Amino acid sequence: MHLTSTLLTGALAVASASANSNYLGFNSGATLADRSAKFKKDFEAEFKTAQALNGAPGKFNAVRLYTNIQAYATDDPIEAFEAAIDTETYLLLGIWASGTTDISKELSALKKAVTKYGSKFTDLVIGMSIGSEDLYRNSVTGTKNEAGVGADPDVILSFIKDYKKAFDGSALAKVPIGHVDTWDAWTNSSNKAVIDAVDWIGVDEYPYYESGKGNSIKNAGKLFDKAYDATRAVAGSKPVWVTETGWPVTGKTWDEAEPSVENAKYYWDEVGCRQLFGKTPTFWYNLRDSNPDNTMKFAITKDLSTTPQFNLTCPTTFDTDSSDSSSSSSSSSSTATRSSSGSSTSASAPASTATGSSNNSSSSSSGSGSSGSGSAGSGSSGAGASGSASGSAEPTSVNKNSGAGKMVASSSVAGILALVGAFYLL
């Protein structure tokens, strides 16, 4: 029997939904390089540039935020929300969790945003990260590297419960919950409870910082694969999202790693193009630099020009052999649906101040986070999480036009295409 036009149209629609599920984006802190607050116009300029990058291997229409609070405010929603609505940019939200025992201000800012913007805001939210590299900061490596005060697993678990309680029954209850950390934090068995509690795992990984491991640019792809595979191994069935990775264009030589525009391009090709883009949600570090204290600069553009510092077009062949890496399998592109889960030497990674609440005793207690403030432990500066909800079933009430809804729709793509193929053979 021949494939009917109706069936063909349906198959193409399913393929399109699948393509839309693996988001491309950048990280965005709450302040500019001079530590002044970003406002709507600043975020809007970033989002518009990201979507219009010349030669990009896809549309970078997603952004990862580190906090929900406007810089130097108490609990006002960050103005990135309104900019995202106006530019149709998907949001991977973050709740800053390091150095605090209370996330009530983060939750208050979110509630205000839901009340003010409604579904225009919630439909764009593709994930919620409770914390960023908190486990790394409190690890032996993080302490050695003076990474700052983090949070232990039980604190992250309590914050996850706080979030779920605050948004039970609301549109945000359908958003998959994750946590972002370094790959060596994820592979530390003492943190397994966090893996069990989330729907996806976010990993920040920077081979550039992997001193003593042969971290030359030519070996960067292999180092990334090793860390990525290790994260996926402990994640089990949960999807791993790459929440930070990149190579600096300027800065100091780090062991064998040399910053340059040429090396940044090589890393983009060997890690981004070969391994990540179109396969798993990926948030590159970075579109523009925000941290004046970091001597390494990662921005792929100057002054938010849509013409990048290097050619973003992906090559057709690569130097890195992916045959040894199981992470290149299509399973890594699985995205999380609604939560049904239970409730080395390294240098610090690029930090870009995310926000600062002037009313908090601890600058980190209200999202004074860092964009890429990660460990470089085991070569990772921020490790992310994989996470499809363990054993979660497709939610029945997800808005199919929302970010979470598209991710849910894509989860059944393989089965539908298989059915189409079987029908064709009848």
Cis peptide before 294 (omega within 30 of 0): no
Distance between CA 199 and CA 338 in Å, rounded? 8
Structure tokens at 382: 């921020």
H/E stretch holding 225? helix 220-235
Distance between CA 419 and CA 6 in Å, rounded? 14
Helices 80-87 and 40-51: crossing angle in degrees, nearest 10, is 40
Q: Report helix, strand or coil for 248.
A: coil
Backbone angles phi, psi at 193, to 5 degrees: -60, -30
Catalytic residue (one of 46, 82, 106, 133):
133
Q: 């921020």: which residue's tokens? A: 382
Q: Which of 364, 353, 372 is nearest to 96 (CA)?
A: 364
Q: Which of 177, 174, 175 is nearest to 201 (CA)?
A: 177
Distance between CA 28 and CA 65 in Å, rounded? 5
Backbone angles phi, psi at 413, to 5 degrees: -60, -50
262 is catalytic: no
Distance between CA 258 and CA 130 in Å, rounded? 33
Backbone angles phi, psi at 54, to 5 degrees: -65, 130
The residues near 164 (Cβ < 8 Å, ≥ 6 apart) are 173, 177, 339, 343
What stretches of 13-104 adopt beta strand conformation (E)? 24-28, 62-65, 90-95
H/E stretch holding 236? none
CB count in 10 Å sphere of residue 255: 16
Q: Are strands 177-182 and 90-95 parallel, antiparallel or unpaired?
A: unpaired
Beta bridge partner(s), residue 386 = 240
* Cα angle, residue 158 at apex, residues 153 and 164 outer, rounded to 5°: 130
Backbone angles phi, psi at 285, to 5 degrees: -115, 105
Catalytic residue (one of 82, 205, 244, 270):
244
244 is catalytic: yes
Are 386 and 178 contacting, i.e. CB atoms less than 8 angstroms apart? no
* Cα angle, residue 134 at apex, residues 271 and 360 outer, rounded to 5°: 125
List residues with catalytic annotation: 133, 244
